[in-house]
Amino acid sequence: MNSKIDPDILQSASTWLHPPYDTETIQQVQWLIDNDPKELTESFYRHLEFGTGGLRGIMGVGTNRMNKYTVAMATQGLANYIRKMFPHIAQPSVAIAHDCRNNSDGFAQITAEVMTANGIAVYMFDSLRPTPVLSFAVRHFGCQSGIVITASHNPKEYNGYKAYWNDGGQLIAPHDKNVIAEVKRIKGPADVRFDTKPELITVLDEEFDKIYVTKVKGLSLSPEAISRQKDFKLVFTPIHGSTVRIAPMTLKAVGFSQIYGVEAQNIVDGNFPTVHSPNPEEPAALSMAIKKAKEVNADLVMATDPDGDRVGIAVKDGKGDYLLLNGNQAASLLIYYLLHKWKENNLLTGNEFIAKTIVTSELLVDIAAKYGVESYDVLTGFKYIADLIKRYEGKKTFIGGGEESYGYLVGDFVRDKDAVISCVMLAETAAWAKDIGKSMLELLQDLYIEFGFYKEHLLSVTKKGMEGVAEIKALMERYRNHPPQELDSNKVVIIKDYLLSVTKDLQTGSENTIDLPKSDVLQFILEDGSKISIRPSGTEPKIKFYFGVKGTLSSREQYEAEDKNLGRKIDRIISALNI
């Protein structure tokens, strides 16, 4: 079978057939060489690289897989970079956390061992913790970096390695590329220091959780509304993940007393036995929680992903059932609530701002404008919101921000999307709405009446493996070189190419520079204001299409009809793009 394998790939795999690789790894690689050239190719055709979410891949042997060697080598590269960037600090430090995934605790331990072997002190959690708690720990202890072992909401066969810098945010340029360069200099396990120094590890337990919970409690804007709504019921599920203990604890700390769990999903399990995918963006992931909500007549349903940075919610639809809200809708409700309460509580000084990603609803911009609050667009990836907060630190106050992919943040003591904070503040939004006689759906409908009915839709097309990478690249080239001239009988009037950093006005012929880092994203703006965005995922083998259209809503009674009308419009645009 060796004749079917690319010689370069076979050579790469052959280096894994002798020590320092262990016997089990050697046997697995040899089996792939002898029996499965396709899987061997997928496992060795490249090295895992940092995308928008860091290092992420399928677990297994090989350079393109998550395993103890790729984790150790990545850690050695990161350790070298930390030493290079902070030569004046005699004892640099990092914080390390992990989620519920298979092998996560082992990968976290290896990361800690390699870091201490390089003379870097480690703050390590005693068990699984949400990603945002790691971000908070980096800032709290003044660490130079942080790592969380997680693959977020990916399927069970995946794991990952998110790297954070000293501001508590994920790596961005130039640090991300520089770390990749350092990792590439590590040619094998022989280049990794494994002489661990256990005395450099400080274990973090529940006492640290209390510090975080106290900070989250301080974000509350309507404690009196929560107190009045004693009958407010919510259902929460961690979907087998890292928020299982800390999210209910925090909700109780701010005053919510009737919190119902989904018993089968409170079991920490990296195989995610009750769901096809532990992704709160997928309706099926919330089905058990919604069933529980119907049993107890809950006001709100919340589900977080395995590493606790995303949350999906469902609200009462007024007909005895529950409606799943998408990320744009939840973000709009949250931002509206925050700005309304900041104004009501006389907290606005004219120096505040919110942030969203370029593929997130423009409704957030309209809401911010109403309250005289600045809004900023950043590239997809919450690390860019973190960078924005950092740039304006001490100059402007960050109120909150969000992205369409179910990630939100309130306050600035965490520098990543935070599902625990989001659960608390979305629950508070719902309790406040109930306190003024509205459901969450009615509050959303009122936003659409005031600002316009914004409807968004995400379509993800999966293209797996080496062939998939080529297909996605070809699709982006096709749309870039041969953009549509018209969609749904609407002319394309503006093209934004974030890779070329240029905005083209097709009506005037003028061009403007996009003042954001380069990214492989295309946006088509139609004559009626509709926005279509196309980008390859940085963390999954997918190409993503984002659709945003806008209509009018004269009354709540017209909601369903207009919702269907805008849905048909999106369907026509999808058809015109020949996806």
| Catalytic residue set | 152
Q: Which two tokens stand for residue 409?
A: 């943040």
Residue among 402, 425, 233 nearest 326 (CA) = 402
Cβ-Cβ contacts under 8 Å for 385 (sequence gap 6 or more): 355, 356, 357, 378, 401, 403, 409
Q: Which residue has the tokens 């749309």?
A: 479
CA 540 to chain centre: 12
Gap between the Cα atoms of 31 and 12, Å rounded: 15
Residue 299 DSSP code: S
Helix, strand, or coil here: 524? strand
> ∠51-57-58 over CA atoms, to 5°?
165
CB 180: neighbour CB atoms within 10 A? 18
Helix, strand, coil percent values for the chain (each to nearest 5): 40, 25, 35
Residue among 32, 71, 16 nearest 48 (CA) = 71
Q: Which two tokens stand for residue 437?
A: 């006689």
Gap between the Cα atoms of 550 and 569, Å rounded: 10
Gap between the Cα atoms of 220 and 496, Å rounded: 38
Report whether 425 contacts 219 (CB < 8 A): yes
Amino acid at 549: V
The residues that bridge with 407 in the sheet, in sequence order, are 403
Report whether 75 contacts 147 (CB < 8 A): yes
Report whether 447 contacts 438 (CB < 8 A): no
**Cα radius of gyration rounded to whole Å, the chain:** 24
Ranges assigned E (strand) in 102-257:
121-125, 145-149, 158-165, 201-204, 233-237
Report whether 250 contacts 452 (CB < 8 A): no
Q: Which two tokens stand for residue 282?
A: 């997928």
Q: Which residue has the tokens 């926005």?
A: 531
Gap between the Cα atoms of 286 and 307, Å rounded: 16
CB 112: neighbour CB atoms within 10 A? 22
Mode of pairing for the β-strands spanning 407-410 and 453-462 = unpaired
CB 322: neighbour CB atoms within 10 A? 22
Helix, strand, or coil here: 171? coil
Alpha helices, DSSP H only, in 416-535? 419-435, 440-451, 465-481
Q: Which two tokens stand for residue 360?
A: 């997130």
Q: Residue 437, CB half-sphere, CA atoms under 13 Å: how many?
A: 0
Q: Residue 177, CB half-sphere, CA atoms under 13 Å: how many?
A: 2
